Amino acid sequence: MNSHSILRVVAKFMIPFIFLYALYVQFHGDFGPGGGFQAGVIFAVGFILYALIYGIDEARRVLPAGLTRTLLSLGVLLYAGVGGLGIYLGGNFLNYSVLSSHPVSGQHLGIFLIEFGVGTTVAATMITIFFIFAGQDR
Amino acid sequence: MVAVAFAIARLRNLFTIVMLMGVFSLLSAVLYVLLSAVDVAFTEAAVGAGVSTLLVLGTIALTSERGDYTPEKFKVMPLLIVAATGVVLIYGTLDMPLYGDPDAPANKHVVPRYIEQSGAEIGVPNIVTSVLASYRGFDTLGEVVVIFTAAIGVLVLLGRGHNRWRPGMRAGVGAKREEEEV
């Protein structure tokens, strides 16, 4: 798509805002609608747009296959790790109240971390699936 | 939504069908907004209308735009069975409490506790987030694992074969789509 200069310019203009919006949805999920799932999808869509406009190889240079696979597992591990940390600190699995000296701030920290894990896994999953599908014809 | 569903069932051009499925998802998202379920609507719009459409389009790009179509003649018996099932389902909904009824079982069980206590216990204004991430954290962990499994499945079936021990293992792998559920 080298000739489509309008598409390229508009995509370049929009991608930072898509990422910004994804981060907003991720970290504002406590206060409004949104959370890890939605944020991960929006974040992935930013990369997918980049890949659609500039080609899979360019996108793969930015985000190598090994990195997405690592992030894929890291998200789940972070989630389960927070749960395990709850046990380690004397609570139940996925009980965040023990993560901090104050139960409510512990809950905040726990929710923040697991939403981050969810977002990481979802984004990496969507990017992986799209790249594999789009990269089949070669 | 009904019209879109009929169009999807009748049309033969897969590209049109994919676009209409996106429209259907967007209409569902609007329906969820009308039912005050903004979190669900957000997910539906992002996943159903956005990424699913993209993934199915990618699949179509790999396969073909026209599906296999075998003309079928009109049969009475299946129509009767479908109609009877529909009537039974609609009859079942007559017993259900009205939408927003405070005495409905769904609003009696744990919901009052979530609404009254979650502010003090979790301290997060969005109750959906506190239910999803804290009270039902284990379920959400399961959902994340489901998504993770979908990615692993696609990687195993269609991956490039970045396998140290078995190089070039992805010869003759057919296209197969994994369903992701959020």
Task: Check if the beta carbon of residue B51 is closer than 8 Å to that of residue A41.
Answer: yes
Closest alpha carbon within chain B to A134: B58
Residue B83 lies in a domain: no
What one-letter code names the amino acid at B72? E
- pLDDT at position B126 is 73
Summarize pLDDT for B45-90 with one digit per residue, the tens.
Answer: 888 888 888 888 877 877 776 666 666 677 888 889 999 999 999 9
- pLDDT at position B161 is 52
Summarize pLDDT for B132-180 with one digit per residue, the tens.
Answer: 777 777 888 888 888 888 888 888 887 655 544 444 444 444 444 444 4
Residue B159 lies in a domain: no
- pLDDT at position B176 is 42
Q: Domain range holding B28?
A: 1-71
Are the beta carbons of A129 and B154 separated by less than 8 Å?
yes
Are the beta carbons of A107 and B43 separated by less than 8 Å?
no
- pLDDT at position B180 is 43
Question: Percentage of residues in chain A with pLDDT exceeding 70?
Answer: 94
Q: How many separate domains does chain B show? A: 1
State phi, psi for A61 to the nearest 5 degrees.
-65, -40
Alpha carbon dihedral A41, A44, A46, A51, in 10-degree steps, equals -140
- pLDDT at position B44 is 86
Residue B121 lies in a domain: no
Are the beta carbons of B55 and A93 separated by less than 8 Å?
no
Task: Check if the beta carbon of residue A20 is closer than 8 Å to that of residue A106.
Answer: no
Q: How many CA atoms lie within 13 A of A94 on its CB side?
A: 20
- For residue B63, the cross-strand partners are none
- B48/chain A closest Cα distance in angstroms: 10
Are the beta carbons of B148 and A125 separated by less than 8 Å?
yes
Q: How many CA atoms lie within 13 A of A34 on its CB side?
A: 20
Q: What is the DSSP string of B82-151?
A: HHHHHHHHHHHHTTSPPTT-TTSHHHHSSHHHHHHHHHHHT--S-HHHHIIIIITHHHHHHHHHHHHHHH
Are the beta carbons of B154 and A65 separated by less than 8 Å?
no
ipTM: 0.78
Instruction: Tell me which residue of A12, A53, A74, A50 sits closest to A127, measured CA to CA.
Output: A50
Predicted confidence (pLDDT) at residue B182 exceeds the cutoff of 70: no
Distance, CA of A128 to CA of B66 (rounded, Å): 26
Residue B26 lies in a domain: yes
- B78/chain A closest Cα distance in angstroms: 37
Are the beta carbons of B47 and A34 separated by less than 8 Å?
no
Residues from chain B contacting residue A103 (CB–CB below 8 Å): 121
Residue B41 lies in a domain: yes
Enumerate residues 6+ apart whose C-beta is below 8 A from A121: A40, A71, A72, A74, A75, A76, A79, B144, B147, B148
Q: Which of A103, A122, A130 sits opposite B55 (nearest CB)?
A: A130
Summarize pLDDT for B102-137 with one digit per residue, the tens.
Answer: 777 666 777 777 777 766 666 677 777 777 777 777
Predicted confidence (pLDDT) at residue B181 exceeds the cutoff of 50: no
Length of chain A: 138
Domain ranges of chain A: 5-134
Exposure b/e, A10-40, CB count within 10 A at least 16 = b: ebeeebeebeebbeebbbebbebbbbbbbbb
Q: Which of A42, A75, A105 sits opposite B144 (nearest CB)?
A: A75
Distance, CA of A117 to CA of A111 (rounded, Å): 10
Residues of chain A with pLDDT under 70: 1-3, 136-138
Are the beta carbons of B121 and A122 separated by less than 8 Å?
no
Would you tell me how many other CB atoms lie within 10 Å of the CB of residue B102? 10
A residues 64..103 contacting B (CB < 8 A) = 65-66, 69, 72-73, 75-76, 79-80, 83, 93-94, 96, 103
- pLDDT at position B177 is 43
Interface test with A, best of B42, B57, B62 (most A CBs within 10 A): B42
Residue B5 lies in a domain: yes
Predicted confidence (pLDDT) at residue B95 exceeds the cutoff of 90: no
- pLDDT at position B45 is 86
- pLDDT at position B113 is 72
What's the DSSP call for residue B166?
Answer: S
